[in-house]
Chain A
Amino acid sequence: MDIKQKIEQANEEAFRRLCAGDPVLVDVAPAGEVLPGLKGKWITHSGPPIEWKRMCGAQKGALIGQTIYEGWAKTPDEATILLEKGEIHLEPNHAHQAVGPMAGTISPSAPVWVIENRAFGNRAFCRQVEGNQQFGDYSDEALKGLRLWRDVWGPTLQKALHTIGGLELKPIITRALQMGDELHNRAIAASSLFANEMAMAMAKTELAKEDLLSTLGYVTHHDLIFLGLSMASGKAIADPARDIEYSTVVTAMCRNGTEFGLNVSALGNEWFTAPAPKVDGLYLPGYTADVAGLDMGDSAITETVGWGAFTIGGAPGILSLVGGTPEEALAYSREMRKITVSTHPTYRLPALGFAGTAIGIDIRKVVQTGIVPIIDTAIAHKDPGYPKIGAGLVRAPLECFKKALIAFSRKYDIGK
């Protein structure tokens, strides 16, 4: 068998594993109890590894907020000093089977969604999705949501989940994709389907009425609540595709606001990075592109498993958020088929004539065609202390894919 055949076979296997993924929400539990390999004072963050000094404003802001939230510091200045001194251990989410939106910070007391991929038995975690602290806002107001999540919403959802013994997400995801979600910037259908399920679960659970009402209000009014679940599902689906010898399939894409990074199956946990790109998008009133930070967050895990901008053609509703026309959206979704191993047999889109979503990004095809994955995403401020300022579309930098291809050829002694 020549190298090309070996690659094809390995990619088929990666594709099979990606498609077989069967995410089930099994728990909502404090990160300190479930994230593997961490102890003491730690915070994990989005994107490839990065030290405090090189972090972007929003990520710094989020870390400051997370430090105050944990009670390790009282003021932003105190928090900054701790972080600068390296007294808090910083690690990327991806190193601990976790993902987080935008700055993506997770700390020990923060509950995370716990997803189990029933097809392979692996677990993945994601923090709650909100619109303030994860964008770098560390004001007391911004931290309120984190505290409520820790003290009320998280524990309530946990109890309800235990009552029903977990929740299968594949049916929700399949339906939501047909209802116009792309599960990255638009998760409104999935969120309400999820809310339906959880409302019933909570009703079946013995709960203080106050907690029930508060959590019910949270779950039923949070259009993006499912993003945390789709991200954790994405991570749980993508991880089994790691470490397949000869496979050129991408197993993670993420950004920390400074760098864009990706992993490739055959190349294990090695990060291939390039400067994070600027997002092309629409801004909330009062903000412009001049104050925008660069691309940030682990949420590109959704594109890695074929959702997000890869299925934007089926989610025209998203366009009012990120700009563009329905025709362009369809064209994006079709274009992505040119760089993936194949299309998903189950996740199908009515708008594309029930064709499956493109899945299994192949770095060879990306470099060959120059077509890089498209990602739809939110935009954070370039400085710490602000909430979400906009949303838009961004392309992964080609450079990472080239670097990965070179590393691949070295590993297998190709060329020269």
Chain B
Amino acid sequence: MNNSPKSFPRFYPRLIGSTAYEWLSSAPEQGKVLAVVTNCIYLVNSDDKLVWLANKKTPLHTRSIQLAGALPGLVPNDPFRIEDQELVFPNGVVVNPKNAEDWRPADFSNEHLLGLPEIYRKSREIYSHLAQLQPPGFGSFITPILASIEDEGISSQPQFNDPVLQFAWPAVHSIARAAAAQDVRGIYARVNELVGLGSGLTPSGDDFLGGLFFGLHILNQRFPSQFQLNKTEISRFLMQIRSCTNLISGTLLGDLAGGLGPAPLHAFIQNLLIPESQESPFEHALALAFIGHSTGWDILTGLLSGLLWTRPEANRATHGRLPQRVLVETVSC
């Protein structure tokens, strides 16, 4: 094929996430390519709003514009503008969404749900299976979290070879225990230690927190009477962490906290909460697990911590006071 710049083709996406759709239909805007990774091109507009062009290997998200085939040849800092809902790049690449369908996670607000104790039991069962796969990243915490929550008296001080895990464990442990004790303050006490922590594009700490808040958000939404969550506290937290991690990871974390995540996460939570699902939640958990290097596992582990909130009262009493550590109120950054 000829490589002259004048001859780039048009791209017709098949599915466009609802957030990305709004982004495209808003007033004429411009922006630039923020990052180009294997299966994804991140675009950011002048308001720092983020969407991405992705191929089918990347799970759907409300911010993704899914192309059916290969991604266009773009490099970071390429500018773009939006004209008539078309994304136009100066090198001739045009992404035209005319035939694309709008994607958003399936709504299951009318479905009958399991009770909290059943959800707790089901989660534990699935997660003990997952733990057997020797998950990477924060996934290594699944076993110690499960052990420390149920088996009283075991003071879990597991050792990890990876310095990131070694560093993160105390905070993760404390958060999981706080969730199991339905102690919201206890959760907040240590989240700051995890923001932006870990290697890679979306640090494991962010993914973990995303999973955690996603879980809390969904529980709050579906069990409003049994479960209270202070929304302003969460949004304050989100504001505070913006500058503590990179734009991409921070955006994803914010979405998760607002109940929006990658498609397999939605499928997983839905199949977990409803009594008789056609599909096994385990399959969806596996699909989620294989996102990125450890991203999926990190989210799953955070979600587990959030789900511990559903632990029945009876199992809870003995915990009493949690070991309080110094509050890391603000992080200088």
Contacts and interface: CB of A to CB of B under 8 A. Distances in A.
Contacts of A350: 132-134
B contact residues, range: under 10
Nearest to A353: B286
Interface in B101-138: 132-134
Interface string B313-329: 00000000000000000
Contacts of B286: 353-354
Nearest to B132: A350
A175 to B, nearest CB: 11
Interface in A166-184: 178
Of the candidates B132, B133, B134, the one having the most CB atoms from chain A within 10 angstroms of its own CB is B133
Nearest to A351: B133
A354 B133 CA distance: 10
Q: How large is the interface on A (under 10, 10 to 19, 20 to 34, 35 or more residues)?
A: under 10
A178 B132 CA distance: 10
A178 to B, nearest CB: 8
Contacts of A178: 132
A354 B134 CA distance: 13
Nearest to A354: B286
Interface string A340-360: 000000000010011000000
Nearest to B289: A353
Interface string A346-390: 000010011000000000000000000000000000000000000
A350 B286 CA distance: 10
A263 B25 CA distance: 65
A354 B289 CA distance: 13
Interface string A269-305: 0000000000000000000000000000000000000
B267 to A, nearest CB: 15
Contacts of B133: 350
A11 B286 CA distance: 32
Contacts of A354: 286
Nearest to A350: B133
A350 B130 CA distance: 10
B57 to A, nearest CB: 14
B127 to A, nearest CB: 15
A354 B132 CA distance: 11
The list of the 6 closest CB pairs from A to B, nearest first, reads: A350-B133, A353-B286, A350-B132, A354-B286, A178-B132, A350-B134
Interface of B: 132-134, 286
Interface of A: 178, 350, 353-354
6 contacts: A178-B132, A350-B132, A350-B133, A350-B134, A353-B286, A354-B286
